Amino acid sequence: MFKKLPKSKINPAELVLNDKLIYLNRVSKVVKGGKRLSFSALVVTGDGSGHVGIGVGKSNEVPEAINKAGAVAKRNLIKVQTKGNTIPYETTVKFGAAKVLLKPAAPGTGIIAGGSVRAVVEAAGIKDILSKSLGRSNRINVAKATMLALSQLKDPKEQLARRKPELKKQETAADG
């Protein structure tokens, strides 16, 4: 039904990570004795230089939900392909009903994004980017769509070399 985010093999102990709470949701369940409250937290973690992860945690207490979400975010770290302070090319990704458009921007533009997209992009260390949330505004799905878009970015030169191996042979012949 949904595309899964790729599992990472990045060791979070080697990185200096900063956690940021994006969204805290209070959920009440009506039971025989009254209302039972629980909390759901969405946390983004990143080192500001290309590594970013998101996580959702649920618990009966706020700090416990945030700690769980932070632990999940550290397990879901990905490496983001950047070109200077921006992304290499434009990409559009859909996750659930949330659709996110990310475009590279000229140096000095800054982060033109809102909500979950801004938090994820800042944690990844991207300084110049344009974005637009096109689908539903569910914060969790928008964050996951942004992560999926960032995880699908590849180096354009590597992709070109994979698609057209004869170009790679010509480049090596011209260099030698």
Q: What is the pLDDT of residue 175?
A: 61
- And the tokens for 21? 């709470």
Domains of the chain (ranges, CATH numbers): 12-153 (3.30.230.10)
Q: What is the largest CA-CA distance in the chain?
A: 80
Pairing of the two strands 129-133 and 111-112 = parallel
pLDDT the model gives residue 3: 60
**Strand ranges inside the chain, DSSP E:** 18-31, 34-46, 51-59, 78-79, 91-95, 98-104, 111-112, 129-133
By three-state DSSP, how is residue 2 classified? coil
Q: Quick one: average pLDDT of 140-148?
A: 95
- Decide: 101 and 132 in contact? Cβ < 8 Å: yes
| Residue 162 pLDDT class (50, 70, 90 cuts) | confident
pLDDT, tens digit, 9 for 90 and up, residues 88-104: 999 999 999 999 999 99
pLDDT 10s digits, 30-80: 999 899 999 999 999 999 888 999 999 999 999 999 999 999 999 999 999
Query: For residue range 103-132, what is the model confidence (pLDDT) as tens digits?
Result: 999 999 999 998 899 999 999 999 999 999
* Predicted confidence (pLDDT) at residue 1 exceeds the cutoff of 50: no
Residue 135 CA to residue 92 CA, distance in Å, equals 11
Q: In what order do the strands lie in the sheet with 51-59?
A: 18-31, 34-46, 51-59, 78-79
How sure is the predictor about 170, in pLDDT bands with cuts at 50, 70 and 90?
low
The pLDDT-based confidence of 10 (bands split at 50, 70, 90) is confident
Distance CA 133, CA 101 (A): 6
